[in-house]
Every structure is written in C-alpha cells, then in structure tokens.
Amino acid sequence: MIACFKAIRGIGALLLALSVYCSTGSQWPVCQMGANLLSDNNVIAPILFSASEWLNSFNQSTVLGLIAAALAYSVIRFIEAIGIFLDKTWAEYLAVLTGFVSLTVIGQQLLSQYSRMLMIIGMVNIVVLIYLVAVLIMKRRRN
C-alpha cells in the first residue's frame, strides 16, 4: 500500500514537471494535445492560466530549476516505491528521511496558512512515518 502511495506521488511530481515544462510555451506534441484538451474545460483552464502567469514572472533558469526539482522528487518517489515493494530496508530508511522532510515543509505551510487539505496530507504522512519506523524497529530487533 505504501509503495502505491509513493508511486502515485511520483506520478504527480512527474505530471507537475510536465505541466511546468508545457507552460513555458513548448511546441512538444504532448503539450499541444494537453492544451487542446484543457482549453474546453471551464474549471481547469482559469487555474492553469493563472499558474502560467505566475511562472512567467520567473526567469528561464528558475523555471528549469523547478522542472529539475520536480523530476528529482519524482525519481526519488519511484525509487522508494520500488524498494518498499521489494521489501528493502534502505528504501524504508529513505522513505522515513524524505517523509520527515515532507512533514517539515507541510508543517511550515500549515503555520503560515491553514488548509484542511494540507492537514489531511500531513496526517497521512504521520501515519506512514509511524508505520515505517515501526517496521524498521521490528526488522532491527530480528537481526
């Protein structure tokens, strides 16, 4: 279950990187196809338009840095998912480490601006961290 959760987060980060790349005005066919599909959607189109205006306020190197960070996050999540699925201890340690980092970022966001969605995401992260730490403790006791 946790491996699926990590893989879904990896897919989300990959889609974020793709959408940021496409918002830079790329002529890549996937970007053009996505723009055509979303232009008919009256709910998503205004959100994407405001996000592209926000991205236009950054210089090109900052946008490329955002894309690289999203891709790196995606790769880490996929590595965690595969490692946890294969029951590798190193993957559980990596998941705990990145989980604490994520929890710190979510906590800072909650302190600056409360959001019910962030609270739910934070609670899920806490449950996953408690479970992974318990698994690591049990593995350590067996050895």
Give pLDDT tens digits for 8-49.
Answer: 888 888 887 887 777 766 666 666 555 555 555 554 555 555
Among all chains, which residue has been given the structure tokens 């980092």?
101
HSE, CB side, 13 Å, CA atoms: give it for residue 40. Answer: 4
Question: For the chain, give me the number of helices (H) and strands (E)?
Answer: 6, 0
Full-model pTM? 0.72
Give pLDDT tens digits for 66-80.
Answer: 889 989 999 999 999
> Which amino acid is located at 48 in the chain?
L
